[in-house]
Structure 1
Amino acid sequence: MTPLLGRRARLRWLHLIIGGALLMPYFLVGTVIVGSYSADANVFSSPVNQLTAFGFALPMAAVTALFPLARPLSVAAARALCGLPPDRPLADGPARTRQARARAALWYTLHVALGGIISGMTLALTPFAVGVSVLPFLSTVRDSPALDVPQALDRPWLLALAPLAGIAMLAAMAGCAAAAGALLANRAPVLLGPTPDDRLAAAERRAAALAVRNQLARELHDSVGHALSAVTLQAGAARRVLDSDPEFVREALTAIEETTRRTVGELDSVLGLLRQGAEDAAGPAGPGLDALDGLLARCGVPVSYTAEGDQGAVAEAVAREAYRIVQEGLSNALRHGGHGAPVRLRITVRTEELEIVMDSPLPDRPPPLRPGGGHGLPGIAERAALLGGRTGAGPHDGGWRLTACLPLRTPGRGRP
């Protein structure tokens, strides 16, 4: 009896009853249309007129289901009552495309059509089957004008079979409801599932969210990585001259304090964007070229800085990326260029692009490899590529040169 009267079968039956209730307004309008040309005074007395009204109701239901909000309502009801397997996902959100609307309309029409049939059977057949079942036991029911059974009184064996006939009617009705519910559950993933356009939109949202996460990861890597490199270098130098040069130690501690304070502020900004979520994170706001002087003054290595061109003409997004590229370049110089090795930095603003050139010496021996490798140079290349720029890095004149060219104007493009 579980397939006919189990919990899932009962929920699907309830779902069909809801469909029958949703059909009623359309059916009543259909009866008005039929009554306007029918010769019968009472439309409900004629099965033909009722079927005709039912036929008028279904197209009207399909039209109303073309509205975008019809799909999320249908999906909510199907998820709660149809007993769908968890591996058959349904689409979330309103139907935006023509294909999605057509599928939602077909589902809604199928739901109200089957719901109307099962609801009619439930309302009409249930009392009749109960009445037939109690015929042998209640004379008042046998004498009822609603049941034409006088001929059965002459055949007691027929009357004795009446309870079985009533139970068979109820079982048949339950079987029809179970079959209709199973049909709806089988069609739900097809008609209410994501269309190819829905899947494409979901993939685009995931790609956008991943791009934001990658961007935030770059911000954390560049900001925190540079700060840790600078603090490590300053602390190590201060430890070596702790007794012989107190003034240098004082300057190193001051640099460590300022570096950590600035990094904590940048870290709070990035973490705030992570709390907002990918949809709200339009891009982390960070320092620009106007903050370079403070970065170079406390970066842990001597830097010869040359600026050419009007930096005020550089867009905010380009200035932020240029700052991060310089910061990551200084971090690499700190980690790999040797303690106190001088760095030459030149930033040139031309008519169409901003050029960054950073030269640093190579160490006497290769630095130890970090587990998993570094992410600095790939991150720099990603930053430049997002703006339509390019980068390069490699040995140059006995040292190491990092270059980056960023366009000052990026029409039709933006940061993720």
Structure 2
Amino acid sequence: MSVRVEARTVLLRTVFLLIGAALFLAFGLLGISVAATGQEAANPAVAVGGAILVATLLVAVSLFPGVRDMEVAAARILLEPPGELLDHPADPRGHRWRTTWFVLAHVLAGGVAGTSLVVGIPLAFSELRWALGALATMGVLVLVVALGAGLARLAVVCLGPTAADRLAVAEQRIGREQAQRALARDLHDGIGHALSVISLQATAGRQMVARDPQHAEDSLAIIAETSRRALAELDHALGVLRDEPGPADRAPVQHLDDVPVVVASYVAGGADVRTTLADPTGVPDLVSREAFRIAQEGLTNAFEHGDGRAIHLETRVGDAVVVTVRNGVPDDPPARRAPRSAGRGLDGLRERVALLGGELDVQQVGRTWELVARLPLPLGDRPGGAR
């Protein structure tokens, strides 16, 4: 650290001490006036009561709302503490007495520094020889520097984060990371599915535009609707990332009831999707929503990486919601096929299933790729079985 920076730090800390000296003077004058009243009345109890009153008022002031905020702001700017100060503690009540100790230290250290500077230095030069006066002045300056450094370290202890605060920050960070991972899964599933449907419908519409204009028009309508849903999901995701509040219907939410709509979008584009769907009535909202995402991702993967033969989708509802997707595998060697989104889709499915305590089994048997996801249901939420 350069001499210039050190001198600036000492000067700022001295200003912080002088603020404490002003408070010390205000409370000191109040104590002196009460003590003088006791002396005139020849009653020591009045003087003692006055000292207690001043101390009580100082403690009470330190507990006022906003005092901690002011101390933190002033300490951060003037003391340049060697550690972190906390603006919004997780447990404000737990910081009250820590703030009180710092306020008391601030006022008392300011009183010592202010008295030494204002009274000690002039007194040293008036009562001592020049050499001793200069030496006493150096001692006063060293004392002021030491008091400033001590308050800077004390600010970190009294105004910095506690173990509970660090734990709360860590939990918030973990919560944000989990929310971002969930958002990434939703974007991958939703946007990936939308692009697959758009590609399928665009191909089908181009082939039918001359032979069957009505079919081509239907394909364009599906493309428009799918694009609108994808944009709504993207808009919701961007709003979450920017912490922007939005209406409750800003994020499109789909459940097992919506699986036939997804299937229809593929069938309308010429894909061969064969389904056996259970009645989802009674399935809890969270499980139904995640099961829909699993079915959607399974269909997307089957369409993008399958061999073009029939895709089989089955859902069962009993003690668990089971989603099964089967599709053929192309004859091409794996190195020549497009990768399955670098595994991000399957990783997202595993995370979804794991969060609900379920199981995910993905395997290739011969020329068939099979995905089976099992999401257990609580006893109270289990329907009477698959229908």
- Give the TM-score of the pair, scaled to structure 2: 0.77
Q: Distance in 2 between matches of 1:93 and 1:105?
A: 16
Aligned partner of residue 342 in structure 2, secondary structure: coil
State how 1:15-414 maps to structure 2 within 5 Å: 15-24=16-25, 27=28, 61=58, 65=62, 70-85=67-82, 88-94=83-89, 96=91, 100-125=95-120, 128=123, 132=126, 170-236=137-203, 252-276=219-243, 285-299=252-266, 300=269, 301-309=271-279, 311-339=280-308, 341-350=309-318, 352-365=319-332, 366=334, 368=337, 370=339, 373-395=342-364, 399-409=368-378
Decide which moves more: 378-387 or 229-238: 229-238
Alignment partners' CA distance in 2, 1:398 and 1:74: 71
* Structure 1 residue 38 displacement after superposition: 6.2
Is the contact made by 1:69 and 1:95 (CA closer than 8 Å) also made in structure 2? no
Note closer, same or farther for the CA distance 1:6–1:336 as it changes in structure 2 (3 Å cut): same
Change in CA separation of 1:285 and 1:348 when aligned onto 2, cut-off 3 Å: same
Unaligned runs of 5+ in 2: 381-387
Deviations 1:310-356 (A, max 9, x none): x24233333322221111111110121123x3222222333x53222
Q: Equivalents in 2 of 1:172, 1:5: separation in Å? A: 18
Contact 2:18 2:114 in 1 (8 A): yes
Distance in 2 separating the partners of 1:111 and 1:360:
73
2:11 matched residue in structure 1 = 10
Once superposed, what is the RMSD of the aligned Cα atoms?
Answer: 4.1
Indicate how the Cα distance of structure 1 residues 360 and 5 shifts in structure 2: closer, same or farther if over 3 A, else same: closer
Find the aligned partners of 1:90 and 1:345 in 2 and give their Cα distance: 56
* Amino acid aligned to 1:326: A
- Provide the rounded CA distance (Å) in 1 between the counterparts of 2:379 and 2:163: 31
AA partner of residue 122 (structure 1): L
Distance 1:61 1:353, change over 3 A: farther
User: Is the Cα contact below 8 Å between 2:229 and 2:252 reproduced in 1?
Assistant: no
3-state SS, counterpart of residue 313 of structure 1:
coil
Q: 1:166 to 1:96 in 2, by over 3 A?
A: same
Secondary structure of 1:308's counterpart equals coil
Q: Secondary structure of the equivalent of 2:242?
A: helix
Aligned AA (1:124) = V
Shift of 1:277: 6.1
1:333–1:372: structure 2 CA closer, same or farther, 3 Å change rule? closer
Distance 1:95 1:307, change over 3 A: closer
Q: Which has the larger radius of gyration?
A: 1
Structure 2 distance, partners of 1:170, 1:286, is 74
- The one-letter amino acid of 1:10's match is L
Q: Deviations over 1:34-90 (max 9, x none)?
A: 6687689699xxxxx89x9889866864576467855433221110101235xx222
What are the Cα deviations for residues 376-406 of structure 1, in whole angstroms up to 9, with x where unaligned? 1111121222233332222358522222233
Q: Secondary structure at the match of 2:330?
A: coil
Q: Tell me if structure 2 keeps the 8 A contact 1:3–1:9.
A: no
* Displacement after TM superposition at 1:196 (Å): 1.5
Deviations 1:228-253 (A, max 9, x none): 23333444566677777777655544
TM-score by length of 1: 0.72
Q: Distance in 1 between matches of 2:145 and 2:50?
A: 26
Q: Any conservation in 2 of the 1:58–1:113 contact (CA below 8 Å)?
A: no
Alpha-carbon spacing, 1:42–1:73, altered in 2? closer, same or farther (3 Å): farther
Return closer, same or farther for 1:192/1:214 CA change in 2, 3 Å cut-off.
same
- SS of 1:374's equivalent in the other structure is helix
Letter in 2 for 1:109: L
* Cα distance change, pair 3–267 in 1 and its aligned pair in 2 (3 A): closer
Structure 1 349/24 Cα, relative in aligned 2: closer, same or farther at 3 Å? farther
Shift of 1:369: 5.2
Q: Tell me the distance in 2 between the aligned counterparts of 1:54 and 1:177.
A: 26
Deviates more, 1:121-130 or 1:183-192: 121-130
SS for the counterpart of 1:181 is: helix
Give the Cα separation in 2 of the matches to 1:370 and 1:33. Answer: 85
- What's the secondary structure of 2:325's corresponding residue? strand
1:272–1:5: structure 2 CA closer, same or farther, 3 Å change rule?
closer
Higher helix share: 2
Distance 1:248 1:285 in 2: 27
